[in-house]
Amino acid sequence: MTDDQLLRYSRHILLDEIGIEGQERVLAAHAVIIGAGGLGSPAALYLGSAGVGRITLVDDDTVDLTNLQRQIAHTTERVGQPKVQSAAQAVAAINPEARVQTLQARADAALLDQLLPGATVVLDCSDNYATRHAVNAACVRHGVPLVAGAAIRFDGQITVVDPRNPRAPCYACIFPPEAEFEEVSCALMGVFAPLVGIVGAMQAAEALKLITGVGPTLAGRLMMLDGRSMEWSTMHVERAPGCSVCASP
């Protein structure tokens, strides 16, 4: 680690649980972030500022004026730009050392199979049910830990999927892909702006914990936030024996 890095990351290095060895793991890590919107913005900014050496941003959308109420990586001047490009600029402004790969594309199974080998952690910051299940299935296939978050209206949720733990459930254990869920969007239902910041920051925290090995993660727990009362509730979840994604053949 260089003198500049020792200074830049000194507040992490001072933590006994992280130290120089943990920060070196952060510098060597590769985080794949699916979605560069409300959740992906704070997640990318915190991972970039923390020194994650390589970040891959995946999103097929462009910055719209309505995004700016909550998607803090974007600016008025960048309306019309690809979100991945705008978010990469925001990360670089904080930490030019971070290597950010941008992919303006939808995260389908084929793309995920290309990206996940060699990834340290994946953050699902997407906004639709189909993508969440595609990301979960790919992480299970490749044995890569996943931090999954969601937010709509005043409701947020976060969990961790760790395929390396044979007892930990995957996203499909909690939300079976064959079940029918009503797809809702911010454009129709609205979203409380700070809520995505809270959940996205927690996703970054869980990702850094997975990278450094600090503390227990949210694997096996689904945390749900009611943004009106600012109350968290936790549901403990076990692996579903008949899960179509992670159950042993």
pLDDT at 247: 87
Look at residue 248 and tell me if it is in a domain.
no
Is the pLDDT at 182 greater than 90? The verdict is no
Confidence of residue 181 (pLDDT cuts 50, 70, 90): low
Q: Summarize pLDDT for 132-155 with one digit per residue, the tens.
A: 999 999 999 999 999 999 999 999
Q: In this structure, what DSSP letter does residue 39 have?
A: T
Confidence of residue 122 (pLDDT cuts 50, 70, 90): very high
Look at residue 123 and tell me if it is in a domain.
yes
Give the CATH number, domain containing residue 162: 3.40.50.720
Residue tagged 């999954």 (tokens): 148
Nearest to 205 by CA among 8, 2, 60, 15: 15
DSSP 146-194: EEEEEEEBTEEEEEEE-TTSTTS--HHHHS-TTS------HHHH-B-HH
Average pLDDT over residues 62-84: 97
What the block records as the tokens of 165 is 């733990």
Is the pLDDT at 186 greater than 90? The verdict is no
- What gap in Å lies between CA 219 and CA 147, rounded to an integer? 9
Whether residue 149 contacts residue 224, with contact meaning beta carbons closer than 8 Å, is answered with no
Residues 6+ apart with CB under 8 A from 228: 154
pTM given for the model: 0.95
CA distances from 160 to 66, 70, 91, 111 (A): 29, 23, 24, 21
Look at residue 151 and tell me if it is in a domain.
yes
Confidence of residue 83 (pLDDT cuts 50, 70, 90): very high
**Residue 11 CB neighbours (<10 A):** 9
Look at residue 116 and tell me if it is in a domain.
yes
Give the CA dihedral 108, 197, 71, 155, nearest 10 degrees: 70
Look at residue 247 and tell me if it is in a domain.
no
Q: Summarize pLDDT for 20-69 with one digit per residue, the tens.
A: 999 999 999 999 999 999 999 999 999 999 999 999 999 999 999 999 99
| 243 noted as active-site residue | no
Determine whether 161 is exposed, middle or buried from the number of CB atoms within 10 Å of its CB (0-12, 13-18, 19+). buried
Look at residue 246 and tell me if it is in a domain.
no
Look at residue 120 and tell me if it is in a domain.
yes
CA distances from 123 to 3, 24, 235 (A): 30, 20, 20
pLDDT at 8: 97
Is the pLDDT at 249 greater than 70? The verdict is no
Look at residue 243 and tell me if it is in a domain.
no
Burial 88-101 (b: 16+ CB within 10 A, else e): bbbbeeebeebebe
For CA atoms 29, 32, 36, 38, give the dihedral sign.
negative
From 125, 139, 173, 186, the catalytic residue: 186
Can you give the residue range of the structural domain that contains 105?
A: 3-236
Coil/strand/helix, residue 8: helix
Q: How many independent structural domains does the chain possess?
A: 1
Average pLDDT over residues 201-208: 98
